[in-house]
Amino acid sequence: MNTKFAAIATGLTMAVTVFSAGSAFGYANPRSVVSAELGTQYAAITPLAMQFFCAKNKSECASSSRGQVTMSPNLMAMLKTTNIQVNRAIRPKRDLADVWELNPKSGDCEDYVLSKRSALIRQGVAAGALRIAYTHTRRGEPHAVLVVKTSQGDFVLDNMNNTVKTLRASGYIIRSMSSKNPNRWVAG
């Protein structure tokens, strides 16, 4: 193998390693973040696909000062309706490339989350209360859900379930989650 080809191969290998370990770096080398809302947290790296999505869709990624909404029967009805409508509107499909899209005809869990978040913001729910969260399914696969921070706790909207559940009832353990600013993430 010639040295030029070996150097290119080594460089590509290192780049893939750095990008694939990026999310893990947020856990392995955490920076302490103090938040009046949640106490001490650890910073996590914003997923690269989210960074690309926000660069392309700036209005969908504006931060909000309100990090929680007041739970009411109307809000719960809105959460349930939105969860079901988006779950029915998008056909499940694994991404070959991790590209996050808004309201696609088919997509993966992040596409469902972004579509639900956008629909709820259009209905008047504070953007800062709508958090994109990474967890794992019961089979151990990485999975994204929408967490709604309310006065009565956190509620989960999930493309794998049409029922809106409390975070505790969902059984999910949050690995990382967006903050009030979707461009800033914290470790779960």
- Look at residue 12 and tell me whether its pLDDT is greater than 70: no
Query: How many other CB atoms are there within 10 angstroms of residue 182's CB atom?
Result: 24
Report pLDDT for 21: 38
List the CATH number of the domain containing 83: 3.10.620.30
Per-residue pLDDT tens for 102-136? 999 999 999 999 999 999 999 999 999 999 999 99
* Cβ partners under 8 Å of residue 115, min gap 6: 86, 89, 90, 102, 103, 104
User: Would you state the pLDDT for residue 14?
Assistant: 43
13 in a structural domain? no
In a domain, 109, yes or no: yes
Q: State the pTM of this model.
A: 0.77
Residue type, 94: R
In a domain, 17, yes or no: no
Average pLDDT in the 52-61 region?
Answer: 91
| Best mean pLDDT range from 40-44, 139-143, 149-153 | 149-153
Pairing of strands 106-107, 91-92: parallel
Per-residue model confidence as pLDDT tens digits over 19-36: 433 443 333 334 444 344
- Is 6 a residue whose pLDDT tops 50? no
Q: Is 23 within a domain? A: no
- Counted domains in the chain: 1
How far is residue 105's CA from residue 103's CA, in Å, rounded to a whole number?
7
Give the model's pLDDT for residue 16: 39
Residue 99 lies in a domain: yes
79: confidence class by pLDDT, cuts 50, 70, 90: very high
Structural domain for 60, as ranges: 31-187
Q: What percent of the chain has pLDDT over 70?
A: 78
User: No. of H helices and E strands in the chain?
Assistant: 6, 10
Residue 18 within a domain:
no
Instruction: Report the pLDDT value the prediction gives residue 102, as an integer from 0 to 100.
Output: 94
- 14 within domain boundaries: no
Least confident of 14-23, 41-50, 83-92: 14-23
Pairing of strands 130-136, 176-178: antiparallel
Residues in the chain: 188
Model pLDDT, residue 41: 59
User: Is residue 56 in some structural domain?
Assistant: yes
Where does residue 39 fall: left (phi above 0), alpha (psi -120 to 50 degrees), or beta otherwise? left
